[in-house]
Amino acid sequence: YLGIILLNLSWIAAGFSNAYRLKRKCIVSNELVEMCNLIAIELEFSVNETGKIIKRLCSEPSLSHLDFLNSFDFENIHIKTELDDEDNERLNFLFKNIGKTDISSMLNLIESFKQNMIISKKKYENYYKNHSRLYIAFGIFGSLAVTLVLI
């Protein structure tokens, strides 16, 4: 019976894990929008170089889920987050081009990325709202189905 219980717990954990993965996409997309706001403020008012701005963002508590900021390398920019590949490509494009033009062009680039992320954030939030409980239910009912089959 212990094996069945462990199998049930693993199915339930898989359901909760998938729901958490969806929630994490919402959190990361929200923090990317916040990151855009912070970068724009820094560029408009302090006109620091982008390297200093990125280092300052690392210590920002509201961006704690953006792990790529801690190990950011300007020479080899390849950022991978929990988001879809399309959003990761946009993020890589942003960081590859930031600091290479004048401030108004950088602000336009940041604003464009921010608008795309707002759209993606809504998409992730809608998907989370519609599917998170479904993943949890599949985990629970899947474990019950396995129990019925094995008993």
What is the C-alpha to C-alpha distance for residues 35 and 37, in angstroms, rounded to an integer?
5
First to last CA, the chain: 9
pTM of the complete model = 0.85
Taking each helix axis from N to C end, the angle separating 50-58 and 2-45, rounded to the nearest 10 degrees, works out to 140
User: Tens-digit pLDDT profile for the chain (151 aa)?
Assistant: 788 888 889 999 999 999 999 999 999 999 999 999 999 988 888 766 777 888 888 888 898 888 888 877 777 788 889 999 999 999 999 988 887 888 888 899 999 999 999 999 999 999 999 999 999 999 999 988 988 888 7
3-state secondary structure 3-29: HHHHHHHHHHHHHHHHHHHHHHHHHHH
